[in-house]
Amino acid sequence: MSLSGVDAGGGIYGTQQRVVHFRMGDAVVSTVDVNRKTMTVTKNGRTLRTLLVSTGKEGFETWNGTMVVLSKVPTIRMNSRTVGIFGPEAYNLGSVKWDVQLTPSGTYVHAVPWNEGKFGRINGSHGCIGMSTANAEWFFEQVHVGDPITVVNSKDTVAVNNGYGDWNVDWAKWQAGSALK
């Protein structure tokens, strides 16, 4: 970075000269097709696996668009009150395994052993992407924070401010919001 003397605006100038080294990881990209009830995982352009999944049921559809892995934890508690689901649809599940967070509002890819038999057949979640415990563990081991997961053939697109939603902004809108006009 050669920032020394660079005009940052408002009378502020850069002062640093730095060399930064970093390494890029593999390109792990996953695509969930809500209609087909599958997730295809690729690594550096090569398909690794196509997994059977169950996504959001009517009224709780999984969002379309590209989301990014925000965090990963091997086990968490999922309580519907934290995402505003009460009444007959409420749940409080302890020890949910192989959790890959996609949005701050609570969209995850995770193991759903209680939905065995729905994978590849029925969308039956409250918006998460569920799969068998074995597939969820495999997926958990493949992805890293920052890897994109794109959902297609659902209803609404994930909000731009719900995670790293900038992926879902078209170029014209992106440019319109730029400070470099």
Q: What is the mean pLDDT of residues 97-107?
A: 96
Question: 21 an active-site residue?
Answer: no
- Give the Cα separation of 165 and 78 in Å (integer): 23
- Give the Cα separation of 117 and 120 in Å (integer): 8
- Give the Cα separation of 71 and 145 in Å (integer): 6
Structural domain boundaries in the chain: 28-165
Structure tokens at 164: 């790293």
Percentage of the chain modeled with pLDDT above 90? 73
Percentage of the chain modeled with pLDDT above 70? 98
Q: What pLDDT does 141 receive?
A: 98
Lowest mean pLDDT among 50-59, 132-141, 161-170: 161-170
Question: 110 an active-site residue?
Answer: yes
Average pLDDT across the chain, whole number:
93
28-165: CATH topology is: L,D-transpeptidase catalytic domain-like (2.40.440)
* pLDDT band, very low/low/confident/very high, at 180 (cuts 50, 70, 90): low
Q: What is the mean pLDDT of residues 55-67?
A: 96
CB 48 within 8 A of CB 42: yes
Q: Which of 21, 110, 126, 144 is catalytic?
A: 110
Q: In whole angstroms, how far apart are CA 104 and each of 51, 99, 101, 109, 135?
A: 24, 13, 8, 13, 23
Q: What pLDDT does 98 receive?
A: 98
Structure tokens at 119: 């994978």
Q: Which of 21, 126, 128, 144 is catalytic?
A: 128
Q: What pLDDT does 156 receive?
A: 93
pTM: 0.86
Q: What is the mean pLDDT of residues 26-52?
A: 98
- Give the Cα separation of 9 and 17 in Å (integer): 18
Please write the tens of the pLDDT for every residue from 139-166: 999 999 999 999 999 999 999 999 988 8
